[in-house]
């Protein structure tokens, strides 16, 4: 089975993949794989971005989505898909005529009013059948987007995530290094008006797990790859009184702001 592997940590948000998809499919008829994609309104490969945190502690996450490769489509409308051994999902124009319901049900599948067909990512199956890479992968400048046999990515798949719901079948797209949420803050000494480097910061997770870090040479601390829930944080540094903040709710990445320490 062919799959896409996306390393979110390497994605710079250059939009090359989205542009490549337009370049390959706008005004190009790849029958029987796909009819031409409209100039606007459809993004078979769509770059998404999310801003995490609050100024000055902000991170931006980028990730492409390939709606046509959602395995749930195969369960819902197998009769419109091309019969392929490699597992790529190709909504065939001739078989899907009038199937507006598919576009209404699945994000990333679009309905072409003029042609009366649903359209979505085909994995550039017309190129794959020629031994080439999907155009989005070929034009990825950072190596964030890769494509190949599922067996090639076995070790990485064990650490990856998907956007598929439980029970939707075998995913065609995997994501590495998604950041989830973060908690951040900074620690300083109001007497000297200086940051405190090397302060120990202890985060208690919703499940009781403890994570630790230290403030860096800017007095900042970060806890990455955490999820929604209720957290406690404690900070201590030599020569200062320890401080705590208990029971704060996390629903989005959060800059807790500054923590002034009182000298002993």
Examine the pLDDT at 167 and tell me if it is beyond 80.
no
Average pLDDT over residues 120-127: 98
Same domain, 152 and 187: no
For 238: left if phi > 0, alpha if psi spans -120 to 50, otherwise beta; the answer is beta
Same domain, 115 and 203: no
- Decide which of 142, 176, 210 is a domain's last residue: 176
Same domain, 172 and 187: no
Average pLDDT, the chain: 96
- Decide which of 126, 144, 176 is a domain's last residue: 176
- Decide which of 153, 176, 199 is a domain's last residue: 176
Count: domains in the chain = 2
Q: What is the pLDDT of residues 104-120, one digit of tens each?
A: 999 999 999 999 999 99
Same domain, 29 and 155: yes
Same domain, 147 and 23: yes
Q: What is the pLDDT of residues 172-230, one digit of tens each?
A: 999 999 999 999 999 999 999 999 999 999 999 999 999 999 999 999 999 999 999 99
Average pLDDT over residues 91-98: 97
Range of the domain at 48: 2-176
pLDDT reported for residue 49: 95
Q: What is the pLDDT of residues 64-77, one digit of tens each?
A: 999 999 999 999 99
Same domain, 142 and 218: no
Q: What is the pLDDT of residues 24-40, one digit of tens each?
A: 999 999 999 999 999 99
Same domain, 73 and 191: no
Quickly count: other Cβ atoms within 10 Å of residue 24's Cβ.
Answer: 22
Same domain, 122 and 39: yes
Q: Which residues contact 263 (CB under 8 A, 6 or more apart)?
A: 189, 191, 239, 240, 241
Output the domain CATH number for residue 76: 3.30.70.20
Same domain, 25 and 78: yes
Examine the pLDDT at 168 and tell me if it is beyond 90.
no
Same domain, 136 and 185: no
Same domain, 202 and 117: no
Output the domain CATH number for residue 205: 2.60.40.10
Same domain, 20 and 47: yes
Examine the pLDDT at 165 and tell me if it is beyond 90.
no
């Amino acid at each position: 089975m062919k799959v896409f592997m996306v390393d979110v940590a390497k994605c710079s948000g250059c939009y090359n993949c989205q542009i490549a998809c337009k370049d390959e499919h706008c005004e190009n008829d790849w029958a029987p794989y796909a009819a031409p994609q409209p100039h606007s309104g459809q993004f078979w490969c769509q770059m998404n971005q999310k801003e995490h945190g609050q100024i000055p502690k902000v991170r931006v996450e980028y990730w492409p989505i390939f709606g046509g490769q959602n395995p749930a489509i195969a369960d819902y409308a197998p009769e419109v898909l091309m019969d392929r051994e490699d597992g790529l999902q190709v909504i065939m124009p001739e078989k899907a005529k009038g199937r507006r319901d598919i576009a209404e049900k699945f994000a990333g599948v679009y309905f072409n009013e003029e042609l009366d067909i649903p359209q979505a990512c085909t994995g550039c199956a017309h190129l794959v059948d020629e031994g080439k890479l999907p155009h989005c992968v070929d034009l990825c400048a950072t190596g964030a987007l890769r494509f190949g046999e599922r067996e090639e990515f076995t070790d990485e798949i064990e650490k990856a995530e998907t956007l598929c719901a439980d029970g939707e079948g075998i995913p065609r797209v995997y994501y590495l290094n998604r950041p989830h949420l973060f908690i951040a803050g900074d620690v300083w000494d109001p007497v000297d008006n200086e940051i405190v480097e090397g302060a120990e910061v202890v985060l208690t997770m919703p499940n009781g797990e403890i994570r630790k870090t230290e403030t860096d040479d800017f007095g900042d601390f970060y806890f990455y790859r955490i999820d929604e829930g209720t957290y406690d944080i404690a900070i201590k540094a030599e020569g200062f009184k320890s401080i705590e903040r208990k029971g704060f709710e996390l629903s989005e990445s959060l800059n807790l702001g500054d923590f002034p320490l009182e000298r002993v």
